[in-house]
Structure 1
Amino acid sequence: MKKIPLLIVFIVALLTNACLKKHDPEPNGEISSMEVSAKRVNDDVIVDIVAYTDNGQVNPKTTTFDAAEIWIAEDVKGYANMELAYTTTQTSLKLENLKPDKDYYVAVKGIKNGKKTGFSKYIMFVNRSLKPTSTLFEMPASAVYYIKSSSTRPYVAYLDNTTGEVILQNWQDKSKKVIVKNTDTKVYQVRGFYAEGSRLFLETSNPYNHSERAFEYYDLATKKFVAVELPARARVWNYAFSADASKLAYTDYSRQGLYIYDMTTKEDKKYLSDSFYSFEWSADGKNIYLIRNKAFMGPPIAEIVKYDITNAAQEPTPLFEWRDETMAWVMLSPKEEYILFASYISNSPDLWIFEFKTKKFWQISGIINFGWLSDKEFFVTTGESESGTTYKTYKYTMP
């Protein structure tokens, strides 16, 4: 599945926000809109406030404000139940007196020259987070967007975009080795571990024609590369391999719908006629989980539904809704008890964890990459760096 682009959007947004804050705002600009972001820093929730002026131009620029009102609600019903919590002249503020184990929504109003703006778009944060149990490793900044993990073996794999090397690393004993290197005619991208972690799948592409996808897998036991045979007429676009590496679900550049290719029997058939862009297999290979935008009169809502692949005519089962369309890079835990996903709902590139049993969320801010290490353990690479050239990757364990 193509998940990297949206996560890179998060990183670009993070860098863009940083650049905006480095530039001096226009002090005389009238406020045209306000924006608030919320991120978790250790056990604290920090909100950052930005005022914009369009200044008669297409792209708004930051401007100053005399004061800002911070409005908060424990539940969101539009803006009707929001209450004024703070009036501040600061652009960054730590929120106090938050109740534990609660979901919150926050919006701001700006005040300048005696004029008060309307509400900003409200955002969500939770007063519930997790702390890392250990540091797994540091890696080059050029590699952090490409990490894939195994949930059955202590391995991660990544592409170092500077050297063009694909690295296989054992996060327990810290050993690592180069298994292949990009060339002028063949470019590798790490796509994930399958078949109980025994095969590392790599997408290969001609650097001059990225629409013609091809795949190989690296067999960890034999240390050999094996080409993956695709259907003769397929031009694979979005895709997901089943956990046992026996099937490929994909959309096609030339044909509408979702197709399932059995790599054992070589059968290739159309499963659904609708358009798809983001989907995952269940661990047992019996279902496909699809992320889609729900038809709704109001703010955009993303939802995850489950399809039974043995019965395409059956209506999908709704599983989970999310109040923001930026939901992406969804990963189910091996036993399908939790999901990890990226979202910009807090105006921050955050990892969100959802537990199906309790319906609880956890929030980890400033993420770059993440993935499952076992049924309850996952890794997170953050955007924090002491050296500026390497980034730390941490291990987390669900309670």
Structure 2
Amino acid sequence: MIISLEFMTIFACIIIFCDQLKIKPARQYFLTHLFSSGLILIGMTLLIQTTSNTTFTSLTESVNNFELPAIFILTGCLINASAIFVNGWVVHCYPIASSSGIVYLISFTTKVTLIIILRLFSGLAILKFFGISMIIYGLVFSLIEKTLKRLICYLTVSQLGFILTAISINSPNIAYLITSFIFIHILYNGLFALYFAYIEDEYDIKHYQDLQNTQVNFILLSGFVISILIYTSILPISSSYIKDEIANILNENSVMLFSKIATCTVLFGLLMESSTSFPSLFMSFLRKQESRKNLKNKSFIIFLDSCFRGNDIRTIPYLSFCIITLCICLFYPIQISHTANFKLVILAISLLLALIFRKIPRISTENINLDLYQYIEKFIYFSIDKYKKTADNNEDAAEYLNFKVIWANILSKISAWHNQQTAILIVLFLLISLILTLQ
């Protein structure tokens, strides 16, 4: 297990370093995982010396009894699972990777540790505290973050917190539900991140406010909408039922309600910004059809044109909200169940909040992120009198100049390393191998 984690760390560092050739994020990722792997290795060594047993057994009771080996292993696993105060490596390191690299990083690397925690610490009550704190932390920062890659990382942290909270449940069928949700989350989260990876490569869109300049690609936008529908548990598929069942077992109504509303608010805001140019394209399509076929219903087109004038899509959510509210008033409580009505209310509230948050300027959370690693690093630099408040770009360029020349020569001679395909393949291979060994 520890060897697989170390190999995954090495090749994840390659994915992070390859695109922009920045040494600091790769160093943070490597040192953080080196420390966590060291804790896991120390705990495993002490545990084997004490019990003379190398099999995977539950350590929940050992943690409850404050046994040191189990606490070491739990601490290392929580760091790898991006627990609060030590999850800066997700937000600071993953966005430095290439567009394709970040899709694989947020989809696979953190899930391995969650599977290990599920196997070793299922039913541990303290995991609920870390999970709930990760949910709140990730969603709050995703509401104010302006960089798209960092925003995706915050949403991923909140979903990891949801899974970690579910692991704390002591229920007979929780292992099946969590395993199913993890693999479903890999699919729709990868589809969600793939949309932003494409628009960054194609249109150089990196910030939230720049989404308005995105040209609509209907195929990608359809996939993005589907991922949001799965993310928010709107589609009546197994993923929604599994997520709702886990939420019901948790019995944390206030936290789950906040999680649903905040997640829907962030995702609806992203969808509104991404599809701002859709009305103008739709009206141009109707005008072409009108000129070709001489449509008789010109008043309807004039009405739509007045609604869509100025490329402002806010009219559509307002009209949709009015229609939904009218349907609830007319048909509830005869034809709409309490559960469906509750979901409609959550969606309506989230839609209004998304419209409100569109008017609030977003900021970069790089300097206010709760990253213990950066605080320790700054304290060390300050202690040795080498810490500077403002970085010198010339010094940074001189520091990384040799790296860029060496790396360019390597990539020009070894074509297999292009686009991090080899590193990504090895990460996938190690993930599958580790899952098979845990069975």
Into which bin does the TM-score normalised by the smaller protein fall?
Answer: under 0.3
Q: Identify the structure with bigger relative contact order (alpha carbons < 8 Å, sequence gap 6+).
A: 2
Structure with the bigger percentage of strand: 1
TM-score, reference length from structure 1: 0.22
TM-score, reference length from structure 2: 0.21
> Larger Rg: 1 or 2?
2
